[in-house]
Structure 1
Amino acid sequence: MNDTVVRASGCVLWRRSASGGVELALVFRPKWSDWSWPKGKLKKGETARAAALREVREETGHTCRLGPALPTARYTDHAGRDKEVRYWVAESTGGAFAANDEVSDLVWLPPAEARERLTYEHDKELIPPTLTAIGVTQHS
């Protein structure tokens, strides 16, 4: 067993839709062929909060305002390493997506559709606490 834990940070990025509902941002990473939240490994000396903000900017093109912390996800990554990802709820404050080396697509979806699109169960588990944190009472 590997004693080194890979530390990462990310956000459940959200915005209000034109109809007043909530949309969540998912990114597609072709290297892993998965839909997930914007996230990534901490750089040396970087705080988890700073990494979360950086990763959202790099992967979505959006800036954001961090809200409450969400449960930390712990799992084994594709390389068999233990991984720990700290998440925050984050409201988009603007930006525009451009595909890059890590992320080829970004979609904004209502919570129920986001749940269906997400690849990993540990990502789906973050939707209810996110909606509670932003004051959405119906978990659609």
Structure 2
Amino acid sequence: MSGDPTTDRTVRAAGCVLWRRAPGGDGIELCLVHRPRYDDYSHPKGKLKRGEDPLAGALREVAEETGHTCLPGVVLPTVRYEVAGRPKEVRYWAAEATDGEFVPNDEVDHLLWLAPGAARARLTHDHDRTLVDALLAARRPV
């Protein structure tokens, strides 16, 4: 899907809609990160390193931004938008948090675990809200 590497200006990134079982076992909670540089709430994500596999990059970014390891699940929709005049493409996976502890850093200063409705409302960008809907649809029994 990528074009000629000498002319393709697309910024490639990957991330996860990180979730965990809610305390008490009633439903799930989603992890949102706050990035002070942009003053926004989003799903953990970041730019891929040259030649990096997108899923490996998504798991690396989750670990770097949240301090959590996770078990990747279904592929979620790819999000495309423009940043500073350049196209950006972010591939996403649903991922269940398995272990870890958040430590604030320069990139992410705090993290929230919220019920899906509250997470959807707190997210800054509409394209991130569509990922909550996609995760919930994927988790519904068939």
Q: Secondary structure at the match of 1:31?
A: coil
User: Aligned partners of 2:131 and 2:8: how far apart in 1?
Assistant: 26
- 1:93 Cα deviation (Å)? 0.5
* Partner amino acid, structure 2, of 1:63: T
* Partner amino acid, structure 1, of 2:90: V
My pick for the range that moved more, 126-135 or 88-97, is 126-135
Aligned pair count reads 135
Where does residue 51 of structure 1 map in the other structure? Answer: 57
- 1:80 Cα deviation (Å)? 2.4
* Partner amino acid, structure 2, of 1:57: A
TM-score, with structure 1 as normaliser: 0.92
TM-score, with structure 2 as normaliser: 0.91
User: Aligned partners of 2:141 and 2:114: how far apart in 1?
Assistant: 15
Equivalent of 2:79 in 67, 73, 85: 73
Equivalent of 2:113 in 100, 108, 126: 108
Q: Does 1:118 align with 2:84?
A: no
Residue-by-residue CA offset, 1:31-67 (whole Å, 9 max, x unaligned): 0010000000000121000000000000000000000
Gaps of 5+ in 1: none
* Partner amino acid, structure 2, of 1:69: V
Q: Summarize the alignment of residues 81-92 of structure 1 with structure 2, pairs less than 5 Å apart.
A: 81-92=86-97
* Partner amino acid, structure 2, of 1:41: K
Question: Identity percentage over the alignment?
Answer: 59
Where does residue 129 of structure 1 map in the other structure? Answer: 134
Supply the RMSD in Å over aligned alpha carbons.
Answer: 1.5
- 1:3 Cα deviation (Å)? 4.5
Post-superposition, which runs of at least 4 consecutive aligned residues in structure 1 deviate over 6 A? none
- 1:29 Cα deviation (Å)? 0.3
Q: Does 1:38 align with 2:44?
A: yes
Where does residue 101 of structure 2 map in the other structure? Answer: 96
Where does residue 62 of structure 1 map in the other structure? Answer: 68
Residue-by-residue CA offset, 1:52-91 (whole Å, 9 max, x unaligned): 00000000000000001000000012x2221000000000
Where does residue 11 of structure 2 map in the other structure? Answer: 6
